[in-house]
């Protein structure tokens, strides 16, 4: 049991047509670029297809698919291989772009789609909690992001002000 099994399950869901494009974000996504940091769950971003005229998204097909295969639902999470997984819609233009530009990484022969480091940092800046800002700092200190590319993303999504504030607070 472990995250690799989670990734294999998500890949199977994709192959079975339960989900389309997906990408891992959050702390687990960051681990693909940085040192591992303790986290309790896995954030998986997916494209939701809403029914015509509806703005609501339903996780029911995903939960049903997984529960039929022995997984258990716990509130907003579903537990796969011991890990609570949160399936999240690409709700903002930034996350939609991150999902579209996610890259495939190889985990001992298992493909895993993950946000780019720059998109992970941009999303963390947009989310803006203390732990998210700490993650942005980690990316910078580890030299794990292309700062020019990050700036482009931030400008495109109206986050230049947030970046200036972050710079003043932590980098100057």
Partner 1 sequence: MKVDLTPILESKRTFRRRAAARPLAEKLRMLDALRERTLAIRRSTNPGPAKKDVTHQEYDTGNWKK
Residues in contact with partner 1, total (CB under 8 A)?
33
Contact status: 87 vs partner 1 (CB under 8 A): no
Contact status: 83 vs partner 1 (CB under 8 A): yes
* Whether 30 contacts 140, CB under 8 Å: no
Among 50, 58, 69, 74, binds partner 1 (CB under 8 A): 74
Contact status: 107 vs partner 1 (CB under 8 A): yes
Tell me whether residue 83 or residue 166 sits nearer to partner 1 (CB atom): 83
Dihedral angle of Cα 142, 170, 94, 27, to the nearest 10 degrees: 50
* Whether 58 contacts 18, CB under 8 Å: no
Contact status: 103 vs partner 1 (CB under 8 A): no
**Contact region with partner 1 (CB under 8 A), list: 12-20, 47-55, 107-115, 123-131:** 107-115
């Amino acid at each position: 049991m472990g995250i690799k099994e989670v990734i294999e399950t998500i890949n199977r869901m994709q192959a079975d047509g339960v989900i389309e494009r997906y990408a891992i974000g959050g702390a687990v996504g960051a681990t693909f670029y940085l040192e591992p940091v303790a986290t309790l769950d896995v954030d998986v971003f997916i494209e939701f297809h809403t029914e015509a005229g509806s703005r609501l998204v339903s996780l029911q097909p995903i939960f049903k698919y997984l529960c039929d295969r022995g997984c258990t639902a716990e509130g907003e999470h579903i537990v796969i291989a011991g890990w609570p997984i949160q399936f999240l819609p690409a709700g903002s233009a930034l996350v939609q772009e991150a999902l579209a530009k996610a890259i495939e990484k190889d985990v001992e022969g298992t493909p895993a789609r993950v946000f780019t480091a720059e998109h992970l940092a941009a999303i963390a800046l947009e989310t803006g909690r203390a732990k998210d800002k700490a993650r942005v700092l980690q990316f910078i200190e580890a030299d794990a992001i292309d700062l020019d590319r990050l700036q482009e993303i931030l400008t495109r999504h109206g986050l230049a002000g947030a970046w200036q504030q972050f710079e003043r607070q932590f980098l100057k």
